[in-house]
């Protein structure tokens, strides 16, 4: 059974985890401003809003391997104001890129038309 001083040290360590995690989020250029981490008993919760799923993944990766982090809960929302032109471009670019990576491909004709 832990002693009272051990309990106090564990509580202080849990508070430091949140501080270190927030620093890691701040210095990572792939993570947008406004991300926040809170911690309780080594369980980290991320909150905020991002424009793309890759930004949410970057936030998770920035804190996952920090000392003292046992679990990461992602409460980060992805905004729904995506520009349809951007979505079309990224989907088309991904499809063409995937086609080029297939074994034996020597030419790709891009006649892809995206609707919706």
Residue 73's alpha-carbon distances to 59, 70, 83, in angstroms, are 11, 10, 28
State the architecture of 4-78 in CATH terms: 2-Layer Sandwich (3.30)
Q: Looking at residue 45, what is its pLDDT? A: 94
Across 10-24, 25-39, 47-61, 68-82, least confident range:
10-24
Domain residue ranges of the chain, discontinuous segments joined by +: 4-78, 83-116
Tokens 């564990």 belong to 10
pTM: 0.59
Q: What is the pLDDT of residues 47-105, one digit of tens each?
A: 999 988 889 999 999 998 888 888 999 999 988 776 667 777 788 888 888 889 988 98
CA distance 82 to 48: 17
């Amino acid at each position: 059974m832990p002693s009272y001083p051990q309990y106090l040290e564990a509580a202080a360590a849990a508070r430091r985890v949140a501080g270190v995690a927030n620093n890691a989020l701040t210095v990572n250029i792939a993570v947008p401003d406004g991300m926040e981490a809170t911690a309780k008993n080594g369980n980290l919760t991320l909150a905020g809003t991002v424009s793309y799923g890759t930004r949410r993944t970057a936030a998770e990766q920035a804190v996952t391997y920090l000392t003292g982090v046992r679990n990461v809960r992602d409460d980060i929302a992805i905004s729904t104001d995506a520009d349809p032109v951007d979505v079309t471009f990224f989907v088309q670019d991904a499809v063409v890129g995937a086609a080029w990576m297939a074994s034996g491909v020597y030419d790709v004709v891009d006649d892809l038309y995206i609707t919706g």
